[in-house]
Amino acid sequence: MTIQWYGIFLIIFGVIYLIKPNIFKRGIWKKTAITQQIFSPKQYNIYMRILGGIFIAVGIYLYLKYK
């Protein structure tokens, strides 16, 4: 698998985090995720959207650099 594919996966996960930041807020993640225990629900949504933006930026960088 080339580095380009990792960029595409990061872009996909970044878009998922931007669209639905609460995707990992149930089940076992609720007990083990430190960010869910520390942040309020609004802060958690902001954190996940920022993380999604970072994933997209890094994914685009990897995709374009190793094209």
What pLDDT is attached to residue 61? 96
Give how many domains the chain has, as a whole number: 1
CA distance to 18, 38, 40, 57, per residue, from 13 (Å): 9, 23, 22, 11
- Virtual CA dihedral for 9, 12, 13, 18, nearest 10 degrees? 160
| Model confidence pLDDT, tens digit, residues 8-30 | 999 999 999 999 988 777 665 66
In this prediction the pTM is 0.84
pLDDT band at residue 38, thresholds of 50, 70 and 90?
confident
Give the structural domain span for 32.
Answer: 3-65
